Amino acid sequence: MPVVARLVLSIGRRAAGPIAALAALGALLSASGCSEQPSTAEARRAVGVYAPILRWFAAVEPQEDHDPPVLFVTAAEGSSPLDLEVQAGLLSDVDDAADLRFVDEAEEAFDMDTGEIREDAILLVELGPVPTQGSRVEIDAVASHRPGNGAPLRFLVVEHVDDEWELVAEPERTPGEGAAP
- Distance, CA of 40 to CA of 66 (rounded, Å): 33
Handedness of CA 81, 32, 42, 61 (dihedral sign): positive
Per-residue pLDDT of the chain (181 residues; tens, 9 = 90+): 454 445 444 545 555 554 444 445 444 444 444 456 678 999 999 999 999 999 999 998 777 777 889 999 999 999 999 999 999 999 999 999 999 999 999 999 999 899 889 888 889 999 999 999 999 999 999 999 988 889 999 999 999 887 799 999 899 998 864 444 4
Go through the domains of the chain in sequence order and give each one's CATH number.
39-173 (3.10.450)
Q: Which amino acid would we find at residue 19?
A: I
Q: What is the pTM of this model?
A: 0.78
Cis peptide before 68 (omega within 30 of 0): yes
* DSSP assignment letter at 96: T
Contact 74, 82 (CB under 8 A): yes
Which of 135, 131, 127, 140 has the alpha carbon at shortest distance from 100? 127
Contact 135, 97 (CB under 8 A): no
Radius of gyration, alpha carbons of the chain: 16
* Angle ∠(64,74,132) on CA atoms, nearest 5: 125
